[in-house]
Amino acid sequence: MSRAAPEPRKTLDPDRVAEWLATHPDFFVGREGLLQQLRVPHPEARGATSLLERLVHDLRTRAEQAEWRLEQLLESARHNEAQYRRTRELVLALLEAEDSDALGQALATQFCERFSTPAVALWCPASLTDAEPQPPQAPRQVLDEHAGSRLAALLDGRTSRCTRLTPTDWKRLLPHTTAPRRSGSCAITRLTLGEPLGYLVLASPDADHFRASMDTLFTEYVGDVVARLLVRHAGRHD
């Protein structure tokens, strides 16, 4: 008699096993010995390890990841607090400026000391300076057609922008400072309050200090404050 062919070995679908175990959490009650016999792949080395050791490893990894995320949140909070304090001191110093020259000098001092930005230029049209008894003092400059055209070209139709600043543009737009030998970087914002009031230029000899990918919300905020103060100071001379 010929022997019957063995039936093919049946295997369980892993997904169905996982689904069944998830819906029967009490399966291992009374089967603790089975838990101790289970071996699972080791996450960092070849071979297998006990289920308990794997669970301990996974819990430790999750704890380390949670600790890292918490540290990231704390670091972000510390950065935001420091940024708020620097911004607060900047705005208070600008509000205390008695005239437009003092406003420009406060900008230069605050950005140098609190934001590591060594060069500032405040370009204003002649209409804001005609009533003043003396020419403006650096970093305030009288906006002429040549400087205005170049600043508008650098902004490229935007309200504010971070971009590279060549030595030639540095000499043209920050004439009261020493130009670097190589290209630096700058943040430019247009000053407006119902009408064009000029430009604010923040510059650094470091080409990566103001990167093109940087957000310019802070620069625009400072520009809004400066524009209002310029109008206030100009009104005192009318």
Q: How confident is the model at residue 129 (pLDDT cuts 50, 70, 90)?
A: low
Do the Cβ atoms of 192 and 170 come closer than 8 Å?
Answer: no
Over the stretch 82-125, which tens digit does the pLDDT of each residue have? 999 999 999 999 999 999 999 999 999 999 999 999 999 999 98
Whether the model clears a pTM of 0.75, i.e. scores above it, the answer is no
Q: What is the CATH number for 230?
A: 3.30.450.40
* Tokens encoding 48: 């297998």
Asked if residue 39 belongs to a domain, the reply is no
Number of domains in the chain: 1
Q: Tokens 């704890």 sit at which residue?
A: 63
Q: What is the pLDDT of residue 53?
A: 76
Do the Cβ atoms of 97 and 228 come closer than 8 Å?
Answer: no
Q: Could you tell me the residue range of the domain that residue 136 belongs to?
A: 97-236
Do the Cβ atoms of 164 and 207 come closer than 8 Å?
Answer: yes
Asked if residue 132 belongs to a domain, the reply is yes
Say if residue 130 is exposed, middle or buried (CB neighbours under 10 Å; 0-12, 13-18, 19+): exposed
Asked if residue 118 belongs to a domain, the reply is yes
